[in-house]
Amino acid sequence: MEAMISSFDGTKLYLNKEIPDHARAIGVIVHGLCEHQGRYGHMAEKFHQAGIGTYRYDHRGHGRSEGERTYFGDFHELLEDARVVIDRALLENPDLPVFLIGHSMGGLTVSLYGAAYPNQRIRGIVVSGGLTHDTNRLVSRVPGGQDPHIKLPNSMGDKVCSVTEVGEAYKKDPYNAQTFTIGLCYALQEGIAWLSENAGEFRYPVLMMHGEKDVLVNVKDTRELFRKVSSADKQMKIYGGLFHEIFFEGCKEKVIGDVLRWMAGRI
> In the predicted model, what is the mean pLDDT of residues 222-240?
98
d(CA 169, CA 141): 27
Domain containing residue 193: 2-264
Percent of the chain predicted with pLDDT > 70: 100
- State the average pLDDT for the chain: 97
Res 67 pLDDT > 90 = yes
In this predicted structure, what is the pLDDT of residue 158?
82
State mean pLDDT over 208-222.
98
d(CA 141, CA 50): 41
Mean pLDDT of 183-203: 98
- CATH code where residue 206 lies: 3.40.50.1820
Burial class (CB in 10 A: 0-12, 13-18, 19+), 104: buried
pLDDT at residue 156 greater than cutoff 90: no
Mean pLDDT over 105-124 rounds to 97
Predicted confidence (pLDDT) at residue 231 exceeds the cutoff of 90: yes
Give the chain's length: 267
Q: Which residues are catalytically annotated?
A: 104, 214, 244
pLDDT band, residue 8 (cuts 50/70/90): very high
**Model confidence at 161: pLDDT above 90:** yes
Mean pLDDT of 140-150: 97
CA torsion, points 154, 159, 160, 165, in degrees to nearest 10? 100
Number of Cβ within a 10 Å radius of residue 8: 13
CB 91 within 8 A of CB 62: no
What per-residue confidence (pLDDT) applies to 204? 98
Is the distance from CB of 101 to CB of 126 less than 8 angstroms? yes
pLDDT at res. 222: 98
pLDDT in tens, 246-257: 999 999 999 999
Residue 54 has pLDDT above 90, yes or no: yes
**Quick check: 157 pLDDT over 90?**
no
The yes-or-no verdict on residue 94 having pLDDT over 90 is yes
Would you say the C-alpha torsion 236, 237, 240, 246 has a positive or negative sign?
Answer: negative
Domain count, the chain: 1
Q: Confidence class of residue 195 from pLDDT cuts 50, 70 and 90?
A: very high
